[in-house]
Structure 1
C-alpha cells in the first residue's frame, strides 16, 4: 500500500516540478501609459466601453435606489386611510 502511495507521490512531484512556467506578456506598462495620459477623460472612464457601461449602470441603479428610498419614506410618513 505504501509503495503505491510513494509512487503516486513521486509521479505528482515530477509533473509539477518539471513543468515550465508559462511566459505571459507584461501588460502593466501599457495600461499605466493609457491611464496616465492627459486626454481630459476621468480616470474611471479611460478603460473603454466596458468602463462606460459599468459607470452608467451604477449611476442608473443609484438614481433608482434614491428614488425608491424617497418613495418609501413618503409612503411611511403618510397616515393610512381607514375605510
Structure 2
C-alpha cells in the first residue's frame, strides 16, 4: 500500500518539477506587428489562409442555418393537410 502512494508521489513530483524541454519563443511582438499593420485587410482575415477558410465556413453555416430556420417557420405556419 505504501509503495503505491510513494510511487504516486514520485510521479507527481516529476510531472510538476523539472526544467522545460525547450525554450519557448515569445510570439506576441511578431503577432502585434502583423495585426496592427495598415494594409487594408480586415483584422479577422489577417491570420492568413486558415482565417479565410474559417470565415467562409462560418458564413456558409450561418446562411444555411438561417435558410433552414425560415423553411421550418414557413412549414410550421402553413395549414396541415387532412388525411
**Does the TM-score normalized on the shorter chain lie above 0.5?**
yes
Match in the other structure for 1:73: 73
* Runs of at least 5 residues in structure 2 that lack an aligned partner in the other structure: none
Q: Quote how far apart the aligned CAs of 1:39 are.
A: 0.5
Provide the alpha-carbon RMSD of the alignment: 2.5
What is the 5 A alignment of 1:8-23?
8=7, 9=9, 13=13, 17=17, 19-21=18-20, 22-23=22-23
Q: How many residues align?
A: 81
Distance 1:42 1:6 in 2: 56
Q: Which has the larger radius of gyration?
A: 1
TM-score, with structure 2 as normaliser: 0.79
TM-score, with structure 1 as normaliser: 0.79
Q: Which secondary structure state, in structure 2, belongs to the residue aligned with residue 80 of structure 1?
A: coil
